[in-house]
Chains A and B, each alone.
Chain A
Amino acid sequence: MALTFAATPRTHTPPPAQRGPRGRALRRNLTGWAFAGPATAIVIGLSIFPAVWAFFISRAKWNGIAPATQVGWRNYQLLLQDPDMIAATKHTLLLTALFVPGSIVLGIVIAIALNQKIRLIGFYRTCIFVPYVASAAATGILAGFVFNPQFGVANDVLRHLGLPQQQFLENQHQAIYIICLIALWGEVGFTTVIYLAALQDIPKDLIEAARMDGASKWRVFRHVTLPELRPVTVFAAIWQTITAMQLFDLIYTTTRGGPLNSTQTIVYYIYELAFQTQRLGYGAAAAYLLFIVTLLLSLLVIWYSRRRGSEVF
């Protein structure tokens, strides 16, 4: 890096008066690109270029070794009728529909609780934020231990409450809900922290004025606090939707899509298609479909929030 800059002439030599306008423009461009170029090249080279390439791959039948055959839109047509893809989409949507509102509601409730001036609040804060820094992979392995049907803590708690023992992650009807619960455990710290910051940004006089006018605590919350939180909610909804739609690590380290494919999500399916069964073209098409759907969902949320009059984007 140092070499690049040593080659760029310094401002004070030669005197600016002797340089033509063209030379100055050239040097300005060189300096600009010397600063911005390396990072720009990496970011664009590792995203725009592969994304375009992925589109061409998605229109081919290819295992990565033998020559690819062009099949046009066939991969996309097959995907729409693929029962595994349809099941994976259902699981992903179910997860998203549970995870996004769950993490928003829990985030608001916990943030309000953590915003109180009571004893031990520092301790509570630390406890609630810590899981966020643990990796999803480690969280998944830990969850396999806690929810172990034979000797896990979860069944021990049920036993103490006099409830029947469960199979949790090993039961095809429960696994996806348990995964959602684990994802919430790992991610709620994030929504909590942004709501906490938003709560602390609400002007104190706004709430005091409403209280002076005789509004009850609930009415203040409903009509003053909640509307102030709306921009954060729009952001959280988009961010958490993307998180939920891309859930992979947790599934890889808990169920690997099982039992009986009941937790197979779209990203997990794409991973299996491309890197386990070497169907690169088909996998790329599935990735493109998911990308378009996520994009449309985000735009929908933005459009809806614009119409409701809260500007965040």
Chain B
Amino acid sequence: MRWKLPFSPWHLLLMPLALIFVLPLVQMLLTSFMSSAEINQFPPKLIPTSLHLEGYRHLFSETPALRWFINTVLVSGIAVVSHLALCSMAGYGFARLKFAGRGLAFVLILATVMIPIQLLMIPTYLMFARLGIVDTLAAAYVPWLASAFGIFLMRQFFLGLPAELEEAALIDGCGRWRTFRSIVLPLAKPALTTLAIITLLWSWNDLLWPLVAISDDHTFTLQVGLANFQGMRRTQWSQLMAGNVVATMPLILAFLFAQRKFIATMTFTGIKG
């Protein structure tokens, strides 16, 4: 006779894994509310004995963290809005409209997917320096105004959409722009949601490019600000963890509230990306 567990054996794998994935983040959150004295103890404590806000207080008084937060919100906000507008228009153009140079333009756009950031950062930095936008917020958001991935995603979506609806509207004398705005876009909500989430994730978490393009600490994004702050204060853990919470919690909360949409987005990136 076989000895049987009172629960599925999969729990033996999943429970420890789940804890390994989530506990460091829990510890980050709890540590941000500890005093420095408590953090520097060994063995380490997980639960703070009392609620301390000194990490947050020091972070916001000694660094322009609030500015970094606002900058990040602005960069990501502009990135998402611009992506939704420009990539959906371009995706529609490539899927439905016939115009000279369409094929070549689309092939070029697809080819850009292969070009990595480290190849682009030197010339882009020089280009932005000549345009005079290095060290401004524009340097951080201009590369996020549109992307090959976004155009491709929207084009694939529009190709899968039956054309009859639009044709009816066009025959009724509705212009291309109005047809697009009032008939096509409302149908594209699932694709637009995916595009918004992926753009938010990528632009919010970007470090390398803003690190290269911005050296004025009032123009930093959160990721750059924190990385820099960490370089100077390696041991100020309560402030560093507080900064980490500020930098990651908005996305983590968004993930927890819209988990289904996030997972659909990750899946889509994997299948169509």
Contact = CB atoms under 8 A, between A and B. Distances in A.
- Between A40, A49, A136, the greatest number of chain B beta carbons within 10 A of the residue's beta carbon is seen for A40
A138 B119 contact: no
B177 A8 contact: yes
Nearest to A36: B93
Interface in B174-199: 174-177, 180
Nearest to A294: B116
Task: Give chain A's interface secondary structure class.
Answer: helix
Interface in A149-198: 150-153, 155-156, 159, 185, 189-190, 193-194, 196-197
B97 A270 contact: no
B266 A113 contact: no
A294 to B, nearest CB: 7
A134 B97 contact: no
- Between B105, B145, B147, the greatest number of chain A beta carbons within 10 A of the residue's beta carbon is seen for B105
Interface stretch (A73-81, A118-126, A219-227): A118-126
A124 B94 contact: no
A277 interface: no
B19 interface: yes
- Between A127, A138, A246, the greatest number of chain B beta carbons within 10 A of the residue's beta carbon is seen for A138
Interface string A34-48: 111111101110111
Given A11-B173, A124-B14, A159-B43, A291 B119 contact: yes
A123 B24 CA distance: 16
B97 A32 contact: yes
Given A35-B93, A132-B266, A249 B207 contact: yes
Interface residues of A, number: 105
A138 B99 contact: no
A114 interface: yes
B252 A130 contact: yes
Interface stretch (A95-103, A210-218, A279-287, A303-311): A279-287
Contacts of B112: 43-44, 47-48
B100 interface: yes
A156 B42 contact: yes
B86 to A, nearest CB: 4
Contacts of B111: 48
Nearest to B253: A133
A118 B120 contact: no
A119 B18 CA distance: 14
A242 interface: yes
A120 B13 CA distance: 13
Contacts of A209: none
B90 interface: yes
B176 to A, nearest CB: 5
A62 to B, nearest CB: 10
B162 interface: no
B90 A64 contact: no
Contacts of A33: 93, 99, 101
B267 A193 contact: yes
A283 B174 CA distance: 53
A130 to B, nearest CB: 6
A22 B189 CA distance: 37
Contact of B123 (A53, A114, A190, A245): A53
Given A135-B204, A274-B121, A31 B25 contact: no
Given A114-B14, A133-B252, A134-B25, A11 B123 contact: no
Contacts of B51: none
Interface string B92-127: 111001111110010011011011111111111111
Contacts of A17: none
A301 interface: no
B27 interface: yes
B143 A46 contact: yes
B99 A31 contact: yes
A28 B24 contact: no
A169 to B, nearest CB: 12
A267 interface: yes
A129 B27 contact: no
B116 A197 contact: no
Interface string A102-121: 00000001100110101111
Given A11-B170, A36-B90, A54-B120, A141 B114 contact: no
Contacts of B42: 150-151, 155-156
B177 A5 contact: yes
A193 B270 contact: yes
B123 A29 contact: no
Minimum-distance CB pairs A-B, first 6: A32-B99, A194-B270, A35-B93, A36-B93, A135-B205, A39-B90
Interface of A: 1, 5, 8, 10-12, 28-29, 31-40, 42-44, 46-51, 53-54, 57, 64, 109-110, 113-114, 116, 118-121, 123-138, 140-146, 150-153, 155-156, 159, 185, 189-190, 193-194, 196-197, 232, 235-236, 239, 242, 245-246, 248-249, 252-253, 256, 266-267, 270-271, 274-275, 280, 283-284, 287-288, 290-291, 294-295, 298
30 contacts: A1-B85, A10-B175, A11-B173, A29-B99, A32-B102, A36-B90, A39-B145, A47-B112, A50-B123, A53-B126, A54-B119, A57-B126, A64-B126, A118-B7, A118-B10, A124-B15, A130-B252, A135-B251, A141-B240, A141-B243, A143-B24, A145-B31, A150-B40, A150-B42, A153-B44, A194-B266, A235-B271, A246-B117, A274-B122, A283-B122
